[in-house]
């Protein structure tokens, strides 16, 4: 069965500093990987996804992620964070269900706090 | 804009009183999902529909049921809510391909009193 590990429960970063959120996955086949962001009391918004091709993926809001098969990782990065980036970030891996369609398995999330 | 809409945003129900949460979509996606998310936890898949085919997760309690009368609408019924069912309930849709990702609604926050 697939799984996702986000080792950092909570990260605090100064506004303007760079950011890296870690994600490790376990999946027997080619992984389909996603990063979602959730603001308090809101649903999840897709930041970016990887399923093939270039291992460096660009997303919305200035985020990027790099797929490293050898390390089973899909870390999210941003060169300079803004106060509005404070939120919960979830990494997810897509897999096939019994119906042959997609199921997403989420990590436990990383809460990002931005300090002035 | 095409979207996933959940109603209501906030729902308060009494212990043991049946409650229904609704989700609608304008994306015409094949698959609709219901997730339960408790505070500071990952979303947990309860069940999903691929068109009219229902797929229940093995550990979803019998207290939770779902209906999908048509492509656009999907309902989550909690037959006898307990205090442990208080959570954010998220509806999501997708085309059903492994690489397509989900589109989420804004969620319904359920409080049980």
Of A37-46, A72-81, B64-73, least confident by mean pLDDT is A37-46
**Which residues of chain B fall below pLDDT 70?**
1-2, 98-99
How would you classify residue A11: left for phi > 0, otherwise alpha for psi between -120 and 50, otherwise beta? beta
Q: Which pLDDT score, from 0 to 100, does residue A32 have?
A: 86
Q: Which pLDDT score, from 0 to 100, does residue B104 have?
A: 92
Q: Which pLDDT score, from 0 to 100, does residue B98 have?
A: 62
Query: Distance from B79 to chain A by nearest Cα, in Å?
Result: 24
CB contact under 8 A, B43 and A95: no
Q: Which pLDDT score, from 0 to 100, does residue B62 have?
A: 94
- Which chain B positions have a beta carbon within 8 Å of A45's beta carbon? 104
Give Rg (Cα) of chain B. 13
CB contact under 8 A, B31 and A104: no
CB contact under 8 A, B102 and A104: yes
CB contact under 8 A, A102 and B43: no
The percentage of residues in chain A with a pLDDT greater than 70, rounded to a whole number, is 93
- Which chain A positions have a beta carbon within 8 Å of B10's beta carbon? none
Which of A42, A90, A102 minimises the CB distance to B97? A102
Q: Which pLDDT score, from 0 to 100, does residue A30 have?
A: 73
The percentage of residues in chain A with a pLDDT greater than 90, rounded to a whole number, is 70
Query: Distance from B43 to chain A by nearest Cα, in Å?
Result: 7
For chain A, the DSSP string reads --EEE---SEEEEETTS-EEE--EEE-SS--EEEEEEE-TTS-EEEEEEESSS-SEEE-GGG-EEEEEGGGTEEEEEESS--GGG-EEEEEEEEEE-TTSSEEEEE---EEEEEE-
Count of other CB atoms within 10 angstroms of residue B111:
13
Compute the Cα dihedral for A48, A100, B78, B26 and give only its sign: positive
Q: Which pLDDT score, from 0 to 100, does residue B19 have?
A: 97
Size of interface A-B (CB pairs under 8 A): 74
Residue A90: closest CA among chain B residues belongs to which residue? B42
Q: Which pLDDT score, from 0 to 100, does residue A105 have?
A: 87
Q: Which pLDDT score, from 0 to 100, does residue A64 have?
A: 98
* Average pLDDT for A17-46: 89
pLDDT tens per residue, range A87-104: 999 999 887 655 555 678
- Which chain B positions have a beta carbon within 8 Å of A90's beta carbon? 42-43
CA distance A66 to A74: 5
Query: Distance from B41 to chain A by nearest Cα, in Å?
Result: 6
């Amino acid at each position: 069965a697939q799984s996702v590990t986000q080792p950092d429960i909570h990260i605090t970063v100064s506004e303007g500093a760079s950011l890296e959120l870690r994600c490790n996955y376990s999946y027997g086949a080619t992984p389909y990987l996603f990063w979602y962001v959730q603001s308090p009391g809101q649903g999840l918004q897709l930041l970016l996804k990887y399923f093939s091709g270039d291992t460096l993926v660009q997303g919305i809001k200035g985020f990027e992620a790099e797929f490293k098969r050898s390390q089973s990782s899909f870390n999210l990065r941003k060169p300079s964070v803004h106060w509005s980036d404070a939120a919960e970030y979830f990494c997810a891996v897509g897999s096939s269900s019994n119906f042959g369609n997609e199921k997403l398995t989420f990590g436990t999330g990383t809460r990002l706090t931005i300090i002035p | 804009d095409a979207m996933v809409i959940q109603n209501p945003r906030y729902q308060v129900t009494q212990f043991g009183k049946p409650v229904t949460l609704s989700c609608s979509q304008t994306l015409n996606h094949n698959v609709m999902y219901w997730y339960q998310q408790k505070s500071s936890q990952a979303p947990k898949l309860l069940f999903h529909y691929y068109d009219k085919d229902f797929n229940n997760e093995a550990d979803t309690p019998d207290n939770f049921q779902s209906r999908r009368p048509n492509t656009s609408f999907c309902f989550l019924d909690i037959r006898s809510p307990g205090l442990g069912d208080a959570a954010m309930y998220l509806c999501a849709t997708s085309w059903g391909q492994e690489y397509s990702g989900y589109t989420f609604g804004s969620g319904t926050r359920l409080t049980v009193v």
